[in-house]
Structure 1
Amino acid sequence: MPLADFLTSTLGKLEVQYHQMGEAIDPPIRAKLGNRKFFRHEQQSDVLLCYLKGVKFVSTLNAAVILFRHGYAQEVGALCRMADDFFFEIMFFVKPLGENAPSKDQQRMFDDFFREEFENPDDPLGTGIDRDNVPRRKINAAFGQIAKDELNPHDAQHTASTVHKALSGYVHGAYPHIMEMYGGNPAYFHMSGMLGTPRIIEWEDQLITYVY
């Protein structure tokens, strides 16, 4: 079976499991915001947050496999950075980091996640709401503490930070990352995918790791 087909099949099974988990969560209802209605949950919880981050994680990896099939290795890298974010944000809520209660940063991320983008969706330019993101270093530090039974906390935090920074180059278009698009005989910038280049082989291993 081709690798992309195997990854698609594996993610399909994971998607089925997520639909099954979703049966334990109250479905969203149509809530009025401004003059329109949007799907929103009546009850917010850390369980719901983690579930929804997982939904986004599976969707992102499905998109990454589609791009991989067409040779868009750079864009796969950007989506893997997103997937990393979702994974570590889920891990951030695995257990309370305060004294038998969520830490201030956990509560901060919780509030920010469920915050609406606009006070009034009918007036997006005039009612935007500022985000209050928890710094990535704090999330990585929390992962180090959660994984301390398996990894040295410093090593776990350092590894998470290094991978995050490396993949960020695909998101922001850093020079070294853009230059990965150049090659061939004669050499040129591959702007319609990178099928047939060494980058595809490299990202085969990366995608296996992320889906695993």
Structure 2
Amino acid sequence: MYDTFDKVLVQMEAAFRRLEAQVPPPVRVPYKDGFVLRYREKTPQQALLQKFARQISGLHAIRLLLSNGFVQEQGVIQRTLDDIAEDILYITLGLSTGDWTDNHTKYLEHFWMEEPGAGMVKRDKIRAYVNRAGGQDDPSTADANGREIFKAYSGYVHANSVSIVDMCGGNPPRYHLAGMIDSPLYGDHEQDAWNYFYRGLVSSVIMAKAFEDSELWTERFNSVKGFEKVFASEIFKAPGA
């Protein structure tokens, strides 16, 4: 499993480096008594590249957390990656379909703010756009499913009781504070990880589309299809199955 995850990361990083070379890099700008790096142009592609960077680093984090049994913390990262993958698709669909809305503009304005304030586009609006512009057969059901996933992983982010108590195990029950590899729930978290690495590969295809890099798109698309064929039993089965 981990060898496969590592190969996915190598492929994603190679795609990232190719795309990184296609946009102006951040530059030094004065800030207080020193400087910071900022993008001057603030293009959609630069925003996408940053989102893709966080998706890749997040997958590295999942790999490390899972291998050491920190599945609660894995859930926190997965909650973040859900939003990032959705954001990548949201921006790319706006570019590729020509249906760039006022909300897309607001989204990027908020994204580039030095100190984010009011004006953030709500997640349900982003999700609704993605499910409809993305051609979902039943967008309403997709919206509902997205909300359920959002709620499930938000429990890890906000550390509610229902999530935390899963750290208990044994007889008598005691909290496992340094990893949960022996937990009966560990297999479900392993299964979750497959889905996020698969979605990372899909994001590399979406990124190539947004950058209009047809050669990279073909390469990444074929890679995703090959991954689906070899690992269908892992990425398309329900947790616990």
- With normalisation by structure 2, the TM-score equals 0.76
Moved more, 3-12 or 26-35: 3-12
Corresponding residue number in structure 1 for 2:134: 147
* SS in structure 2 at match of 1:78: helix
TM alignment of 1:128-139, pairs within 5 A: 130-139=117-126
**Change beyond 3 A, Cα 1:80–1:96:** same
1:104 aligns with 2:102: yes
Structure 1 stretches of at least 4 aligned residues deviating more than 4 Å after TM superposition: none
1:82 aligns with 2:80: yes
- Computed over aligned residues only, the root mean square deviation of the Cα atoms, in angstroms, reads 1.8
TM alignment of 1:148-163, pairs within 5 A: 148=135, 150-163=136-149
Instruction: Give the number of aligned pairs.
Output: 197
* SS in structure 1 at match of 2:62: helix
Q: What amino acid sits opposite 2:36 in the alignment?
A: F
Cα distance in 2 for residues equivalent to 1:19 and 1:185: 50
1:64 to 50, 62, 65: 62
TM alignment of 1:1-212, pairs within 5 A: 3-96=1-94, 102-117=100-115, 130-148=117-135, 150-212=136-198
Once the two structures are TM-superposed, the CA of residue 204 in structure 1 deviates from its matched residue by: 0.9
Once the two structures are TM-superposed, the CA of residue 131 in structure 1 deviates from its matched residue by: 4.5
Q: What amino acid sits opposite 2:42 in the alignment?
A: Q
Once the two structures are TM-superposed, the CA of residue 64 in structure 1 deviates from its matched residue by: 1.2
Higher helix share: 2
Q: Deviations over 1:73-106 (max 9, x none)?
A: 0000010000001011111112339x95632211
Moved more, 27-36 or 73-82: 27-36
Cα distance in 1 for residues equivalent to 2:117 and 2:10: 36
Identity %: 26
Cα distance in 2 for residues equivalent to 1:112 and 1:62: 27
Once the two structures are TM-superposed, the CA of residue 55 in structure 1 deviates from its matched residue by: 0.8
- With normalisation by structure 1, the TM-score equals 0.86
Cα distance in 1 for residues equivalent to 2:85 and 2:63: 17
* 1:147–1:153 CA contact under 8 A, matched in 2: no
Q: Deviations over 1:50-69 (max 9, x none)?
A: 12111111111111111111
